Amino acid sequence: MVAGVFLEKPNGEVHWLDTGTGLAEQVARTRVQFEEMIRSSPDLIDEWFLPPLVERLRAAGKRPAVGECYGFTILPIFAEGKYDTENMFVVPVREQFVGMADIHRKLNDLPEGASVQIRVTD
């Protein structure tokens, strides 16, 4: 997983949650529709799964184990945040999702272009 996860809701809808940007959107009405979209659209595979980026990350020695995923040093919601090997690292999935949810929740009501300072504490 690069930056997001797909979730199937109890009603069958499939949603994409991009942890890098905080984007959450419905992408299919059913799992069957979602699977068909993936089979029939290489563009969606490129957009959602970023295979060239994953290849570069793996070539750089960044290989998540079970329970791990890729995280960002600087989130893509910031001008300096990029989807590239220098800005990404391997992180436990729980840390990625809990940490990103907390950050996106805090930034949610800020106006476009607002300046922020994030302090990381132990």
Q: Give pLDDT tens digits for 32-58.
A: 999 999 999 989 988 888 999 999 999
Element at 70 (helix H, strand E): strand 68-72
Q: Which ranges of the chain have pLDDT less than 70?
A: 1-3, 120, 122
pLDDT of residue 104: 72
> What's the pTM?
0.78
Q: Output phi, psi for 29, to 5 deg.
A: -75, -30
Instruction: Give the H or E element holding residue 26.
Output: strand 24-28
pLDDT at 122: 61
Q: Can you give the pLDDT at residue 1? A: 42
DSSP 45: H
Q: In this predicted structure, what is the pLDDT of residue 26? A: 96
Give the per-residue pLDDT at 34: 96
The pLDDT of residue 105 is: 74
pLDDT at 107: 76
CA atoms within 13 A on the CB side of 96: 26
**14-18 vs 68-72, strand pairing mode:** unpaired
Tokens 């969606």 found at: 44
